[in-house]
Amino acid sequence: MSELIKKAAALLESKSVQVVIGYGKGTGNRTRTIFATQVTECENLIFDSRCVQNLAVYLTKLEIKKLGKPAIVAPVPVLRSILQLAVENQITESDLVILGITSESELIDFESFAAIETFLTTHKIEIEEKYTKTIDAIKAMPVAERFAYWVKELESCFKCYACRGACPLCYCTRCTVDDNQPQWISVASHPLGNLEWHIMRAMHLAGRCTDCEACYNACPMGIPIHLLTKSMLQDVADNFGSYGPSLDKQNTLSSFKPDDKESFIR
Ligand code: SF4
Ligand code: SF4
């Protein structure tokens, strides 16, 4: 990825950006996020199949905004999140420079969010069969069995909120789970508290989640929370249209169509 290093260094040198958000070598065989503010630091940028963190999560963080205008290394999942953040008016085109990376690990320039949207029409979200099979099997369970399944799966959740921290679309400065007046969601990690947290998380991401799996990858307990968001993606697509962000599409849970099949809307 010497081209990426060259491009990032040129952006910093020309002062077009003040920080480059990208991937670097971590401990062991892992990668980590790096924030290059000096031309020499761009040497540490890497990109390979281990780079699965969703760097778009940093675009809304105050600490990062304080560094100045960023350039961001953006493989396809990051591009989807950037587009969704744009749809939600969290970023504008002049806020950032995008160092796009195709599925073939080629660098690609995007001059506008519309250009990202056009590119993503050929990179649509596809939920793998192994997941659809599992989701279908869970949905086919009788209600009590399904309830017991999720209570069991979520039992090891200890509310570290790493899943929330890794998600580019969980950007509220104050999350409902942190509020204690009133206490909407139980703090304790017990079956009810865990269910409340995960139902709330899934519902808040309904129609917004871009299926990057960063939340699942961040979970230290390996809880299959991605099944919830993938299932929600399917439900939204089946009932309200296709998967994925679109500059023309309104948010699923904050808009309605007069011809909605549910009669309560009329
Ligand atoms: S897959 Fe997880 S981290 Fe990625 S957008 Fe959806 S909820 Fe957020
Ligand atoms: S990352 Fe895992 S353990 Fe932590 S809050 Fe999320 S689901 Fe629970």
pLDDT in tens, 53-82: 999 999 999 999 999 999 999 999 999 999
Question: 70: cis peptide before it, omega within 30°?
Answer: no
Closest atom, ligand 2, to C-alpha of 219: 1
The whole-number pLDDT of residue 247 equals 86
Distance (Å, rounded) from C-alpha 166 to C-alpha 216? 9
Q: Say which residue, 176 or 4, is predicted with more confidence.
A: 4
Instruction: Decide: 31 and 50 in contact? Cβ < 8 Å.
Output: yes
Task: Kindly state the percentage of the chain with pLDDT values over 70.
Answer: 99
Q: Treating both helix axes as pointing N-terminal to C-terminal, what angle do 143-153 and 191-204 enclose, rounded to 10 degrees?
A: 100
67: left (phi over 0), alpha (psi -120 to 50) or beta: alpha
- Residue that wins the pLDDT comparison between 183 and 94: 94
Reported as a single tens digit per residue, the pLDDT across 159-208 is: 999 999 999 999 998 888 888 888 888 888 888 899 999 999 999 999 89
Separation between Cα atoms, residue 114 and residue 204, nearest integer Å: 25
Q: If you measure from the C-alpha of residue 190 to the centroid of ligand 2, how many angstroms do you get, rounded to a whole number?
A: 13
Q: What is the token pair recorded at 221?
A: 């307990």
pLDDT at 262: 76
Lowest mean pLDDT, pick from 41-50, 198-207, 246-255: 246-255
Among the atoms of ligand 2, which is closest to the Cα of residue 194? 8
How does residue 250 score in pLDDT terms, banded at 50, 70 and 90? confident
Q: What is the pLDDT of residue 265?
A: 67
Question: What atom of ligand 1 comes closest to residue 167's alpha carbon?
Answer: 3
Query: Mutate which of 223, 225, 227, 229 to test ligand 2's pocket (most atoms within 8 Å of Cβ)?
Result: 223
Given a contact cutoff of 8 angstroms between Cβ atoms, the answer to whether 222 and 249 are in contact is no
Supply the pLDDT for residue 246. Answer: 84
As given in the structure block, the two tokens for residue 266 are 């009329």
**How far is ligand 2, taken at its centre, from the CA of residue 163, in Å?**
6
